[in-house]
Structure 1
Amino acid sequence: MSQPSGRRRQLVLGGTAALVSAPLAAAQRRLTPSQMLGPFYPVTPPLHKDNDLTLVEGSKVRAAGQIADLSGRVLDLDGRPLAGLRVEIWQCDANGRYRHPRDRGGLEEDPNFQGFGHTITDADGRYRFRTIRPVPYPGRTPHIHAAVFQEAARPFVTQIYVAGEPLNLRDGLFMRVPEALRPLLLADFVAVDDPVAAFTAEFDFVLSPVLAGLFEAHTA
């Protein structure tokens, strides 16, 4: 799926307003709330953009932090899988530093953390990433940014939060989400006995076929 660079730089919000106008039966599934893009979407995504953020091309040393496998499905309101869609994630490393020139927090960058990855949903709408369990960023609770690209629609942008994280209740962006919808942005990071990953987490995106109420994303 081709994604023109201009389009990639103009990611916008979508989805939350569509919940209001969705038919009652469909709304019972509940659309995934959209969130702001934030300031650290990659200016130039790395050439080694794949779905494993814990290994940088040319290195055998894994990223610092707790390795986690994040997977799930992209569905429509009727539960039908959305195949062939590009899913992207990006987040700070275990030190709380983004791979982005605008992150000038003075924190040391982990050279072994890719910081950005993408994959394509399969026939069942499934996606999978290997990354790290998110850590706090100065002023923010642990979170993973995510975007889903649909043909003939603006990209859907949101953030994935850690279920049970106490800092969630002090996070301005998370607390702006209506309380009833906050669980839709949470993922349980469950400890597993695996030679590489310490945690697994699942997160499903439920998208409207027509993203209503689109607004330009503002950095935050």
Structure 2
Amino acid sequence: MNQSNSFSRRRWMAGAFGIACFTTRGLFADYLFPSPSMTEGPFYPDKMPLDQDNDLIIIGDSLTPAVGEITHLTGRVLSTSGEPIRNATVEIWQCDANAVYLHTADSRTKQSQQDKNFQGFGRFETASTGEYRFRTIKPVPYPGRPAGHIHAKVKVGGREVLTTQIFVRGAEGNARDGIYRSAGDVIDRELVTADFTPVPGSKIGELAASFDFVIGRTPDDRNFPSTRRAPR
């Protein structure tokens, strides 16, 4: 986990309990604040593509890549104590560089502008390290959504434990995006924001983004995380 991402997730208790947090070994010291739950939105694929792997840039055996700024999205699925969660399925979906989703309600009227080389949806299952990785494009704004964003779900044991969105840090549209603002306070918004930075030495302008999903509880706990749904 990168240090800035880890640090931004930590909330220390204040007031009378503040001293205990720093002096009592293990007391709250390793607590990571759960990733905020956000609206799924209307465009989770209604017809799944045949290719559902973690490379959204290339479909099947095609030699033509998708249009957009290629981004390597990586991170881990973690518990609030910082333990990696294995066998978690991470799903992402987003519109293409022309602002078209892989959903018939959106693409039906935009067939001429849809990037047919963009997969639009992908899956990855974590191993013992909890790590996941995708190759996709930097998210772009969508009509009515001024902030570029990537939708994401995390499933454990076949059960959905988190639905959220990933936003580009510093993007101009964030301040005008109602869903981004509805994530909560400054810390909550930080938890759904990632840096998209140039990959050193890349000759085609690739970007890298790191984002950790922190799950409050998993099916193994016999409970599920409470959700705070943003308005649709």
The answer to whether residue 103 in structure 2 is matched with residue 100 in structure 1 is: yes
8 Å Cα contact 2:45-2:103 kept in structure 1: yes
The answer to whether residue 53 in structure 2 is matched with residue 50 in structure 1 is: yes
Residues 194 and 155 of structure 1, relative CA distance in 2, 3 Å threshold: same
**Alignment partner for residue 172 of structure 1, among 161, 168, 178?**
178
Question: Which residue of structure 2 lines up, in the alignment, with residue 20 of structure 1?
Answer: none
Question: Which residue of structure 2 lines up, in the alignment, with residue 203 of structure 1?
Answer: 211
Question: Which residue of structure 1 lines up, in the alignment, with residue 13 of structure 2?
Answer: none
Q: Tell me which stretches of 4 or more aligned residues in structure 1 moved more than 4 Å.
A: none
TM-score normalised by L of structure 2: 0.78
Distance in 2 (CA, whole Å) between partners of 1:163 and 1:43 is 29
3-state SS in 2 of match to 1:88? strand
**Alignment partner for residue 116 of structure 1, among 118, 121, 128?**
121
Question: Which residue of structure 1 lines up, in the alignment, with residue 133 of structure 2?
Answer: 128
Residues 165 and 86 of structure 1, relative CA distance in 2, 3 Å threshold: same
**Alignment partner for residue 63 of structure 2, among 60, 63, 66?**
60
Q: Which has the higher contact order (CA 8 A, sep 6+)?
A: 1
3-state SS in 2 of match to 1:128? strand
Distance in 2 (CA, whole Å) between partners of 1:154 and 1:25 is 26
Shift of 1:91: 0.2
For residues 140-219 of structure 1, what are the structure 2 equivalents within 5 Å?
A: 140=145, 141-151=147-157, 153-179=159-185, 180-192=187-199, 193-195=201-203, 198-209=206-217, 210-214=223-227
8 Å Cα contact 1:97-1:109 kept in structure 2: yes
- Bigger Cα Rg: 2
Residues 42 and 152 of structure 1, relative CA distance in 2, 3 Å threshold: closer
For residues 23-38 of structure 1, what are the structure 2 equivalents within 5 Å?
A: 25=28, 28-38=31-41
3-state SS in 1 of match to 2:92? strand
For residues 83-98 of structure 1, what are the structure 2 equivalents within 5 Å?
A: 83-98=86-101
8 Å Cα contact 2:179-2:231 kept in structure 1: no
Distance in 1 (CA, whole Å) between partners of 2:167 and 2:178 is 13
The worse-fitting range, judged by mean Cα deviation, of 122-131 and 190-199 is 190-199
Which amino acid letter does the alignment assign opposite residue 154 of structure 2?
A: V
3-state SS in 1 of match to 2:150? strand
- Gaps of at least 5 residues in structure 2 are 1-26, 218-222
3-state SS in 1 of match to 2:179? helix
3-state SS in 2 of match to 1:25? coil
TM-score normalised by L of structure 1: 0.82
8 Å Cα contact 1:66-1:132 kept in structure 2: yes
Shift of 1:155: 3.5
Distance in 1 (CA, whole Å) between partners of 2:150 and 2:31 is 26
Residues 122 and 25 of structure 1, relative CA distance in 2, 3 Å threshold: same
Distance in 1 (CA, whole Å) between partners of 2:205 and 2:82 is 29
- Gaps of at least 5 residues in structure 1 are 1-23
The answer to whether residue 77 in structure 2 is matched with residue 77 in structure 1 is: no
Q: Percent identity?
A: 43
Shift of 1:28: 4.2
Shift of 1:153: 4.1
